[in-house]
């Protein structure tokens, strides 16, 4: 049974990356120049995958809340599968693509943009978000091996951190203070 879960995960992840690779190939083959139009496409996909990443970061700790409350082995196993699929199939690919497209946008905008305060603050928050994401992976591993050390209330509070990061990032990008 364990082999089928691994095969299922590989099939799911390869399908996810194949579909998205095909999408990027089509979009960026049709728009080969580095004009403002291309930058708008990159920005649009950056936002789309940022939403995907945040969806995973909002829902994964919520699953941890329910997992921490579960008492029976059937629920325990079900949550392990759901958490793994969400982390590896949605949140992590969303993070990788978001970060890659964000770096591409910085490249488009030129080297001087890196000196803008709002971008430096945003990048600091993105680094904090990456740390949060990695810590979620550690918590996932703890649940996988039945080593969870936190109660459901702790996860409810932990679940709120990405909300504040998202609000701050959006305000920084849209208002661009200093």
Sorted by sequence, the CB contacts under 8 Å of residue 143 that are 6+ apart come out as: 64, 67, 79, 80, 83
pTM: 0.81
pLDDT of residue 13: 57
Q: Domain ranges in the chain?
A: 2-175
| Alpha carbon distances (Å) from 118 to 46, 125, 154, 174 | 17, 11, 31, 9
pLDDT of residue 113: 86
pLDDT of residue 177: 86
Task: State pLDDT tens for residues 35-63.
Answer: 668 888 899 999 999 999 999 999 999 99
pLDDT of residue 110: 80
Mean pLDDT by 10 residues, the chain (178 residues): 51 60 56 68 94 97 96 95 97 96 88 89 97 98 96 96 96 90
Provide the 3-class DSSP secondary structure of residue 65: helix
Q: Could you tell me if residue 146 is left (phi over 0), alpha (psi between -120 and 50 degrees) or otherwise beta?
A: left
| Residue 136 · residue 61 · CB < 8 Å | yes
């Amino acid at each position: 049974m364990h082999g089928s879960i691994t095969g299922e995960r590989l099939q799911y992840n390869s399908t996810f990356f194949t579909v998205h690779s095909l999408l990027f190939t089509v979009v960026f083959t049709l728009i080969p120049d580095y004009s403002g139009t291309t930058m708008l496409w990159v920005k649009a996909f950056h936002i789309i995958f940022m939403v995907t990443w945040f969806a995973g970061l909002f829902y994964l700790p919520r699953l941890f809340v329910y997992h921490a409350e579960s008492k029976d082995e059937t629920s325990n196993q079900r949550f392990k599968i759901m958490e793994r699929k969400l982390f590896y199939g949605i949140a992590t690919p969303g993070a990788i693509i978001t970060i890659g497209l964000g770096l591409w946008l910085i490249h488009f905008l030129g080297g001087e943009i890196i000196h803008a305060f709002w971008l430096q603050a945003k990048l600091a928050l993105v680094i904090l978000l990456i740390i949060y994401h990695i810590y979620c992976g550690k918590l996932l591993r703890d649940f996988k091996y039945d080593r969870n050390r936190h109660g459901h209330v702790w996860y409810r509070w932990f679940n709120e951190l990405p909300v504040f990061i998202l609000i701050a990032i959006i305000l920084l990008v849209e208002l661009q203070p200093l």
